[in-house]
Amino acid sequence: EVQLAESGGDLVRPGGSLRLSCVASGFAFSSAWMSWVRQAPGRGLEWVAIVEGDADGGTAHYPDPVRGRFIVSRDDSQNTLYLQMNSLKTEDTGVYYCAIYKSDRYDSRPYLPNWGQGALVTVSS
């Protein structure tokens, strides 16, 4: 059974930093492309980071709102995904979900098949 467990959510001041973790199990983590998707209170879904699987180079991708502030990384030996968030803004407040982006480059059923329970990040003074 696929399991994704986020941790690290907290209350942080604007301008501060926070690191989220996601421990994965039940699938081939190293080959999987992984993602972080966030949801502001009462709002829709927005991807904030995608990292390619090891076999595909492990390149990280970010949308404009977080590029230069967020860093996604992975420790395949620990089956763990991270999101380092720096220079946090109030608009970064929300629930951050760890999700499988696709199992590998050739996944025939790709795009977010499994999600964690989410980690709440609150950016406020």
Partner 1 sequence: DVVMTQSPLSLPVTLGQPASISCRSSQSLVDSNGHIFLNWFQQRPGQSPRRLIYKVSNRDFGVPDRFSGSGSGTDFTLKISRVEAEDVGVYYCVQGTHWPLTFGGGTKVEIK
Cβ proximity to partner 1: between 29 and 62 the closer is 62
Measured from the CB of residue 110, what is the shortest distance to partner 1 in angstroms? 6
The residues with which 19 forms a beta bridge, in sequence order, are 84
Cα(84)–Cα(31) distance, integer angstroms:
21
Cα(62)–Cα(46) distance, integer angstroms:
11
CA 116 centroid distance within chain? 10
Residues interacting with partner 1, by CB under 8 A?
Answer: 37, 44-47, 50, 61, 63, 97, 101, 109-118
Cβ proximity to partner 1: between 5 and 16 the closer is 5
Measured from the CB of residue 114, what is the shortest distance to partner 1 in angstroms? 8
